[in-house]
Amino acid sequence: MQTPRFTLAVLGGSGLYDMHGLTGVEELTVDTPFGPPSDAIVRGRLGDTTLLFLPRHGRGHKVAPHEINYRANICAMKMSGATHLVSVSAVGSMKEEIAPGDLVVPDQFIDLTRKRTTTYFEDGIVGHVVFADPVCPLMAAALGAAARKAGGKVHQGGAYVVIDGPQFSTRAESRVYRSWGVSVIGMTAMPEAKLAREAELPYATLALSTDYDCWHESEEAVSVEAVMAVMKKNVVVAQRTLLELAQALPDPAKSPATGALRGAIMTAKDKISSGASKRLSWLLG
């Protein structure tokens, strides 16, 4: 059997890991210093790549976006050996040309969340990572190529505005966000991207457009039924995309995420509390 070269971690819906070609499937229960992740991690093999899948809302979709333990989810992936991380999420389109069913690989985020812990560095340790370009460009390029190869209509680049939810936007809010020139709107990419950078994981998002947000004249209101109908179709393309990506992962050593903590920690070593040191041992060694 081939020795795994890389380990691709995927945060998304529970249906993503039920894919053809995945072998040696097993479940991992991971305890983290930040509490339990959303669910057990499903691990399998595809050629010389290990795949890790974690349903961010839990199986049965029981965890709301603002209730997700984002820190535990990213930590659990890192502790399980992740070398790359892809976030798969349903989004609303903010541009006419991004139709329901299209795929977007954003390269920027606008974080409008207010209720979420967005860092691992607190309570006795201070760290400031560079985050001007939150998506690994190598991962984004590989993800976009994989999605096109899988038959998806892909929009490469663009900004993803993240709101707390669980309510959808008001029409006034939607029109304001659209005036900013953003491409999509969703509820889960933050603080995933921030925590992935702190965890030094090359990160990219595969955003699945399920609807035009309520700014669009065709949308009297965004309905859960309409979103789920398109999402079911998108999942098939997302699965194919992940299979293609797993065979074409970029070298993580060349990612800006690798070494992100170099020079980022401001606290003197002898001043780091024992609690903080223990809590971040999985990251700092």
Q: For position 72, which CATH number holds?
A: 3.40.50.1580
Which residues in the chain land under pLDDT 50? none
Contact 159, 135 (CB under 8 A): no
Is 71 among the domain residues?
Answer: yes
- What pLDDT is attached to residue 115? 87
The pair of structure tokens assigned to 45 is 């093999």
Contact 144, 105 (CB under 8 A): yes
**Number of domains comprising the chain:** 1
Alpha carbon 48 to its chain's center: 23
- What pLDDT is attached to residue 1? 52
Is 190 among the domain residues?
Answer: yes
- What pLDDT is attached to residue 224? 64
- What pLDDT is attached to residue 268? 95
Residues 236-246, buried b or exposed e (16+ Cβ, 10 A)?
A: ebbbbbbbbbb
Is 11 among the domain residues?
Answer: yes
211 is catalytic: yes
Q: Which of 118, 131, 135 lies closest to 183 in space, CA to CA?
A: 135
| Among 107, 211, 251, 270, the one annotated catalytic | 211
Range of the domain at 55: 6-284
Encode pLDDT of 186-233 as tens digits.
Answer: 999 999 999 999 999 999 999 999 888 888 766 555 566 766 777 777
Q: Amino acid identity of 138?
A: L
Q: What's the pTM value of the predicted model, to 2 decimals?
A: 0.93
Measured CA to CA, the distance from residue 101 to residue 48 in angstroms comes to 31
- What pLDDT is attached to residue 219? 53
| Among 133, 213, 251, 270, the one annotated catalytic | 213
Is 182 among the domain residues?
Answer: yes
The pair of structure tokens assigned to 14 is 């529970």
Contact 184, 102 (CB under 8 A): no
Contact 213, 205 (CB under 8 A): no
Is 163 among the domain residues?
Answer: yes
- What pLDDT is attached to residue 232? 76
Is 227 among the domain residues?
Answer: yes
Measured CA to CA, the distance from residue 22 to residue 24 in angstroms comes to 7
Is 1 among the domain residues?
Answer: no
Is 21 among the domain residues?
Answer: yes
